[in-house]
A and B are shown apart, each in its own frame.
Chain A
Amino acid sequence: MKAVRLQVISNKQVSQRYWHMVVDSSLLGETVMPGQFFHIRCADEYYPFLRRPLSIYRINKREQTLEFLYLVKGLGTKRMTEIAPGAEVDVFGPLGKGFTLHDSWDTILLLARGVGIATLAALAQEAAEKGIRCVAVLSARSRNDLLATETLQGFGAEVYKVTEEEGTSDVEHVREIIHAIMAKNDIKAAYVCGSKRLSLLLKEIVREKRIPAEIALEEHMGCAMGVCFACVCDLQEEEGLRTVRVCREGPVFPLEKVVIP
């Protein structure tokens, strides 16, 4: 956990709304886990002022590079698109706690919506390296947004795509798809990111099926190092509700404990 300046190898637009950045992580000197994130300075100015938390999209250990897939949404991410290859980007991290993945699990389910796909792509990559099969349900506004699909398929994932554009992304349809997946596969664990509705759906399904599940949360952050208490969520513990910091105790939490507002 430190702020370092890493060299940008490439920074390209990959679809209408999404950009992809590759950085040289050889100077980082820390192990990065899927589910962790970096707090990124989008410009060396006071506006945009705060850093932006971006989850890791791909971790390339041999090449010593890291990849970020980001949705260009506001001023910060817009300015990030202006960082040219060869320039440096100020990144603080890796931060937070990553996903749990047991070597003994043979098949896992990934459920992602929008930019949440980027967060689960890093997990699909690690699963592939461990010989664990992934079945993924990816939801987005449009087919154009479903750009991480190829990456996931590259890791041997079986991918189901749903979009608003095609009228296939409603919760009931996703429920049917997941039930069909579970009937065909012995799913050992499930992961979700990017949608409250889909998180609630998965919570219901895993409770019924009695399998472990994790959620990667997204939240506005201030410091991202646990001191400002800006990014909090509630966990339902045995002794009652406990408010935790997404940046420090998360961003990955057991799905059954997270109170989804």
Chain B
Amino acid sequence: MSVTFNLEVSIGKLRLKNPIMPASGAFGEDMEEVIDFNRLGAVVPKSITKYPRRGNATPRVCETPAGMINSIGIQSKGLEYYLAKTLPYYTKYETPLISSISADSIDEFAEMAEIIAREEVVKALELNISCPNLKGNGVAFGMDADITHQLIRKVRTVTDKPIIAKLTPNVTRIQDIAIAAEEAGADGLNVANTILAMAIDVHTRKPKIGNVMGGISGPAIKPIIVRMIYQVHQVCKLPIIGCGGVMTGEDAIEMMLAGATAVQVGTANFINPTAMLDILEEIKAYMKTYQIQNITDIIGQVKIDA
């Protein structure tokens, strides 16, 4: 008897055929030669800014044990190019597109969200309120619960499409920010952006990143993100997209057990260009082993002894 395994998940009214999608900044059109985008749960092009940005000084990446620090600084061609070229490119795929937006002010977030959400191809918005590489010392909107609330509330007034707030892990209590986003009307939360980090070359005594500090990603940070997903899931009803260090299907399952509904894959794509498709197959194998028919059955199902 053949059993079908249902991988469908929902983020608000956005239905995904499976929980695997790329993390913004680790995905782009150039990957079409390597993987079939139609097999993904969603596509997430790199964060877009209103005006073109040149990005930060090189070196923009450096390796750490089981991880990578990056400070790209959102090199961007600007909103005009995004609307004219980037979004139309994705219309050939049936996979829903989540548009990642970065802005310098609450008003700019709302202005961009309104323009982008009008596009038919855009099925949801991910608000990057957490990039550590734009302002001094990694300061981001998402570090303050009140600002997060105001920002989401404002964007909520300009669109009915699902809004996902991409949270920063660089806070004392991520739950407070999650609750603020939920109360302001977000449909989902991304937990989380990169963790502010630094590495120094002891021979030259220079920082290994041109911008001095950057955000660390990769398997080194996964336990921290799993902990944050768990904490947010305990206090908040919104669907969570786990993001941080997923390399394998088991890593994705772990995040879902902690409370994630979907999972983003970023740095793993650099190590294994077909990582997202391999992870999907590994998730199916896990479902088969444990006879799980609906992937949603495992969300938040970590067993904690009383």
Contacts and interface: CB of A to CB of B under 8 A. Distances in A.
A49 B26 contact: no
Interface stretch (A62-70, A182-190, A223-231): A223-231
B55 A243 contact: yes
Given A222-B68, A243-B55, A228 B31 contact: no
A221 to B, nearest CB: 7
B270 A51 contact: yes
B218 interface: yes
Contacts of B274: 3
B30 A50 contact: no
Interface stretch (B59-67, B123-131, B234-242): B59-67
Contacts of B67: 46, 49
A230 B273 contact: no
Contacts, number: 99
A76 B58 CA distance: 20
A161 interface: no
Interface residues of B, number: 35
Given A49-B63, A227-B27, A243-B55, A232 B271 contact: no
A3 B72 contact: no
A219 B57 CA distance: 12
A48 B273 CA distance: 17
A177 B34 CA distance: 45
A248 interface: yes
Contacts of B54: 243
B159 interface: no
A206 B261 CA distance: 59
Contact of A232 (B60, B65, B68): B60
B26 A223 contact: yes
A92 interface: yes
B28 interface: yes
A47 B64 CA distance: 8
A233 B107 CA distance: 33
B233 interface: no
Q: Chain A at the B interface: mostly helix, strand, loop or mixed?
A: loop
A130 to B, nearest CB: 29
B172 interface: no
Contacts of B72: 228-230
B34 A41 contact: no
Interface in B53-92: 54-55, 58-68, 70, 72, 75
A53 to B, nearest CB: 12
A260 interface: no
A3 B59 contact: no
Contact of A50 (B25, B61, B220, B273): B61
Given A3-B272, A223-B26, A227-B26, A47 B58 contact: no
B269 A49 contact: no
A171 interface: no
A73 to B, nearest CB: 12
A2 B34 contact: yes
Contacts of B270: 50-51, 222-224, 228
B272 A227 contact: no
A46 B66 contact: yes
A1 interface: yes
B33 interface: yes
Contacts of B64: 49
Contacts of B27: 227
A102 interface: no
Nearest to B266: A228
Interface in A210-259: 219-233, 243, 248
A1 B34 contact: yes
A31 B14 CA distance: 42
B153 interface: no
B273 A225 contact: yes
Interface of A: 1-3, 41, 46-51, 76, 92, 219-233, 243, 248
16 contacts: A3-B34, A41-B271, A47-B65, A49-B218, A222-B61, A223-B270, A227-B28, A227-B30, A228-B25, A228-B26, A228-B61, A228-B270, A229-B46, A230-B58, A231-B58, A243-B75
